Amino acid sequence: MNETSPSPPPALALEGVTRRFSDGERVVTVLEGLDFQVEGGERVAVMGASGSGKSTLLNLAAGMDRPDDGRVRLLDEPLDAIAEPELTRFRARHVGLVFQDFNLIDSLNVRENIALPLWLNGLDSTGGEIKELSETLGIADLLERLPDQLSGGEKQRVAIARALIHRPEVLLADEPTGSLDEASAERVLALFDRVTADSGCALVLVTHNPQAAAICDRQLQLRGGRLHGS
């Protein structure tokens, strides 16, 4: 009798997640009873109006915020069971993050900002990966510059390189093409497409850009604290 192998756990799972914020005397529920799964290698676009909770969803998925109710599992690890600083180390090993505001370190040059996840993981940063990735993203001539010498689009591409350099298992990207011109956006989306296909990295992409959403396997709308779509 042949036994079937158990299915691998999802790369990301939000189970009954609710997140509330206080606005003066009023409590605003941004996400309510949210159930959401992303399989390994799957690419999911999350779209919605400003203020709908898209960035909150990503912060919860990365363990940078905690739900008021429910549980977040990342690579089958319940994030509420991991205390700091181990959670920071877990995120540095397994997750690539692209923030809307870039979150570059002003005192580090471009090369050093990109290399940061390698340093955090005790990996070699002297190989050709930084050069190759920076060439792909069109920032190879910027490696010795500081962040305050860069345009918004250049900062965004540096942030994308940093998110990918350690080959994460889950990539969480918040409007990664928002500051890019059309040609740069196409280059980034092609890179995401290739990286996820080659490595099996799961992608959650928050975007207003239909072109960006089109590279994904699923496109969901976040409305009223819940995800709609298939």
What single string gives the DSSP state of each residue in 158-181?
Answer: HHHHHHHTT--SEEEEESTTTT--
Tokens of 187: 């280059």
Residue 29 has pLDDT above 80, yes or no: yes
Output the average pLDDT for the chain.
Answer: 94
Mean pLDDT of 182-199: 94
Mean pLDDT of 37-64: 95
Residue 7 has pLDDT above 90, yes or no: no
Per-residue pLDDT tens digits for 55-94: 999 999 999 999 999 999 999 999 999 999 999 999 999 9
Task: Please count the other Cβ atoms lying within 10 Å of the Cβ belonging to residue 109.
Answer: 18
Mean pLDDT of 165-192: 95
What pLDDT, on the 0 to 100 scale, is given for residue 18?
98
What pLDDT, on the 0 to 100 scale, is given for residue 5?
65
| Residue 24 banded pLDDT, cuts 50, 70, 90 | confident
Among the residue ranges 31-35, 73-77, 207-211, the one predicted with the least confidence is 207-211
What pLDDT, on the 0 to 100 scale, is given for residue 8?
87
Residue 182 has pLDDT above 90, yes or no: yes
What pLDDT, on the 0 to 100 scale, is given for residue 126?
86
Residue 207 has pLDDT above 60, yes or no: yes
What pLDDT, on the 0 to 100 scale, is given for residue 227?
96
Per-residue pLDDT tens digits for 106-154: 999 999 999 999 999 999 988 899 999 999 999 999 999 999 999 999 9
**Pairing status of strand 26-38 against strand 43-47:** unpaired
Candidates 12, 91, 74, 47; CA nearest to 227 is 47
What pLDDT, on the 0 to 100 scale, is given for residue 2?
57
**Residue 171: partners with Cβ closer than 8 Å, 6 or more residues away:** 95, 96, 98, 163, 164, 192, 195, 196, 201, 202, 203, 204
Helices (H), the chain: 54-61, 86-94, 110-120, 129-136, 152-164, 182-199, 210-213
**Residue 115: partners with Cβ closer than 8 Å, 6 or more residues away:** 125, 130, 165
- Domains of the chain are 12-105+166-228 (3.40.50.300)
Alpha-carbon distance 156 to 48, whole Å? 21
Asked if 39 and 11 count as a contact pair (C-beta separation under 8 A), the reply is yes
Question: Residue 227's beta-bridge partner residues?
Answer: 222
What pLDDT, on the 0 to 100 scale, is given for residue 74?
97
